[in-house]
């Protein structure tokens, strides 16, 4: 059967199951895996694995909803598109605006963390260079993005396997080695922690922080327009990436609690590095640092890609300036959106302390997935991947985790969402007055 030529302005379908899964898993195993266990352990104490399991449960509900919606609407934009189609323009806008703003800040933080790993004295210039290079890779086409993601993911997985072996081997016979401070504190989530409770009351906020690490499978949905056979590929890729990430996070949480003293795990800015320096394999600490740098690059690459596609989708609906929807180049990519996202990230790097504003990303992502579950709940037809009660559970779980996050995170993202809503309201009012 002859293939149909691509519709002008649309992206080409080039990604299979392996590439899509790698992009999702690469997003979930970013720099967060190297630091998130400490603030979560300080909040949940011995119940850290319970917090991981709870975050995984909410993530599963969201993943199933995302997979079903992406199969129904295989276009770029993720929940922004699903919300508009199933719930209306405003829920879609809130999801898209929260994703674009929160993840742009995350891009800047991830780039700056990489800069600290590579050259602490020149972190910002190195971060800017990383954004420029990775944007260039994205402009070469989605297959180049997937290839680089798989290479970086292989390095990260090898690093995590090494940390696991070091934890199993146990402490060095001569005593614990000195923990290397290094740049891990650059993206520390300690700022999100209102105070260590170390018990049952800390499980919910700890799960909220752990959920931040699980959220990368959204990248698969935002690339829906570039996936082959999306009705089959997207559900498989999302669920495979989430299952792999869940097993890795749960296993690491258990190993770290077994290997490190509770106080050290809760107070460390580099728990995985401490696990190695406190073992007989302490000479491998530089390898862990290199793996963390690769994780930063992999997550940054996927983030820039996902934010660019969502920006393009919002521009198609005139919720952002129309030129951002332009698709072009030899490799059929959203050139204007990609370059604009890169420019915004660079501006943040040069003008703000991005590490103080990235905390609201968790709240924004949870609101994003609340809209996802609500949209999936309204789907009709025989091809449901899960019952509606699972969508309701996911919706409630997102809201509970969102409101139990530290107040600074909640208030910060609420203010950003309010600015977006007010701006869209004014734009729509102007269009009505001018008859456009």
**3 DSSP 8-state letter:** P
**378 DSSP 8-state letter:** T
Buried b (16+ CB within 10 A) or exposed e, 118-143: beeeebbebbbbbbeebbebbbebbe
Helix (H, G, I), strand (E, B) or coil at 279: strand
- Per residue in 150-169, pLDDT (tens digit) is 888 888 899 999 999 988 88
DSSP 18-85: HHHHHHHHHHHTSGGGGTTHHHHHHHHGGGHHHHHHHHHHHHHHHHHHHHHHHHHS-STTTHHHHHHH
Give CA–CA dist 94/428, Å, rounded: 15
Q: For position 184, what pLDDT does the model report?
A: 47
Return the residue matching tokens 């519709």.
Answer: 7
**2 DSSP 8-state letter:** P
Helix (H, G, I), strand (E, B) or coil at 178: coil
Return the residue matching tokens 């332009």.
Answer: 326
Say what the pTM is.
0.80
Q: Taking the domains of the chain in order of start, what are their residue ranges? A: 17-434
- Per residue in 189-234, pLDDT (tens digit) is 444 444 445 567 788 888 888 887 777 766 676 666 777 877 788 8
Question: Phi first, then psi: what are they for 179, rounded to 5°?
Answer: -70, 140
391, 61 Cβ separation under 8 angstroms: yes
Q: Which residues contact 135 (CB under 8 A, 6 or more apart)?
A: 304, 338, 339, 341, 342
- Please indicate whether residue 354 or residue 272 has the higher confidence score (pLDDT): 272
Return the residue matching tokens 């030529």.
Answer: 5
Q: Which residues contact 206 (CB under 8 A, 6 or more apart)?
A: 39, 40, 41, 43, 44, 47, 48, 51
Give CA–CA dist 304/106, Å, rounded: 10
Q: For position 186, what pLDDT does the model report?
A: 45
With vertex at residue 163, the alpha carbon angle to CA 161 and CA 164, rounded to the nearest 5 degrees, is 65
Q: For position 377, what pLDDT does the model report?
A: 94
On the question of pLDDT at 4 being above 50, the answer is: no
Structure tokens belonging to residue 89? 């323009």
The number of angstroms, rounded, from the C-alpha of 116 to the middle of its chain's C-alpha atoms is 20
Q: For position 180, what pLDDT does the model report?
A: 46
- Per residue in 252-265, pLDDT (tens digit) is 999 999 988 888 88
Distance in Å from the first CA to the final CA of the chain: 42
Q: How many CB atoms lie within 10 A of CB 393?
A: 17
Q: For position 223, what pLDDT does the model report?
A: 67
Radius of gyration, alpha carbons of the chain: 21
Give CA–CA dist 168/162, Å, rounded: 10
**6 DSSP 8-state letter:** P
Structure tokens belonging to residue 205? 């906020």
- Per residue in 295-350, pLDDT (tens digit) is 888 888 888 888 888 898 899 899 999 899 888 665 567 889 989 999 999 999 99
35, 269 Cβ separation under 8 angstroms: yes
DSSP 392-413: HHHHHHHHHHHHTS-HHHHHHH
Superfamily for domain range 17-434: Amino acid/polyamine transporter I (1.20.1740.10)
The fraction of the chain above a pLDDT of 70, given in percent, is: 85
Question: Is residue 436 very low, low, confident or very high in pLDDT (cuts 50, 70, 90)?
Answer: low
Mean pLDDT of 110-128: 85
Structure tokens belonging to residue 393? 């559970």
Return the residue matching tokens 């009705």.
Answer: 231
């Amino acid at each position: 059967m002859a293939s149909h030529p691509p519709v002008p302005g649309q992206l080409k379908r080039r990604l299979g199951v392996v590439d899509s899964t790698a992009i999702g898993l690469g997003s979930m195993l970013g720099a967060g895996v190297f630091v998130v266990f400490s603030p979560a352990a300080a909040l949940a104490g011995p119940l850290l694995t319970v917090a991981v399991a709870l975050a995984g449960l909410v993530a599963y509900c969201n993943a199933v909803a995302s997979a079903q919606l992406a199969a129904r609407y295989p276009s770029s934009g993720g929940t922004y598109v699903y919300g508009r189609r199933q719930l209306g323009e405003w829920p879609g806008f809130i999801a898209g605006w929260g994703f674009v703003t929160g993840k742009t800040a995350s891009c800047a933080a991830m780039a700056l963390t990489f800069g600290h790993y590579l050259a602490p004295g020149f972190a910002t210039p190195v971060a800017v260079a990383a954004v420029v290079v990775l944007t260039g890779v994205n402009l070469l086409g989605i297959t180049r993005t997937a290839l680089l993601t798989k290479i970086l993911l292989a390095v990260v997985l090898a690093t995590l396997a090494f940390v696991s072996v070091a934890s199993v081997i146990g402490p060095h016979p001569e005593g614990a080695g000195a923990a290397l401070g290094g740049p891990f504190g650059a993206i520390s989530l300690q700022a999100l922690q209102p105070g260590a409770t170390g018990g049952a009351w800390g499980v919910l906020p700890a799960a909220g922080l752990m959920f931040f690490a699980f959220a990368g499978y959204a990248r698969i949905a935002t690339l829906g327009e570039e996936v082959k056979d999306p009705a089959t590929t997207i559900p498989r890729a999302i669920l495979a990436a989430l299952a792999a990430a869940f097993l890795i996070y749960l296993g690491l949480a258990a190993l770290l609690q077994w290997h490190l003293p509770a106080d050290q795990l809760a107070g460390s800015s580099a728990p995985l590095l401490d696990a190695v320096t406190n073992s007989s394999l302490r000479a491998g600490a530089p390898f862990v640092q290199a793996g963390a740098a690769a994780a930063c690059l992999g997550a940054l690459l996927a983030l820039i890609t996902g934010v660019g596609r969502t920006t393009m989708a919002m521009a198609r609906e005139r919720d952002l300036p129309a030129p951002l929807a332009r698709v072009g180049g030899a490799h059929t990519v959203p050139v204007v959106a990609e370059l604009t996202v890169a420019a915004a990230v660079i501006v943040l790097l040069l003008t703000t302390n991005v590490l103080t504003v990235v905390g609201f990303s968790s709240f924004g992502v949870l609101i994003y997935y609340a809209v996802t579950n609500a949209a999936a709940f309204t789907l009709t037809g025989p091809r449901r991947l899960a019952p509606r009660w699972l969508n309701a559970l996911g919706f409630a779980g997102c809201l509970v985790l969102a409101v139990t996050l530290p107040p600074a995170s909640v208030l910060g993202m609420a203010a950003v969402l309010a600015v977006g809503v007010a701006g869209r309201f004014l734009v729509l009012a102007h269009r009505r007055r001018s008859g456009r």
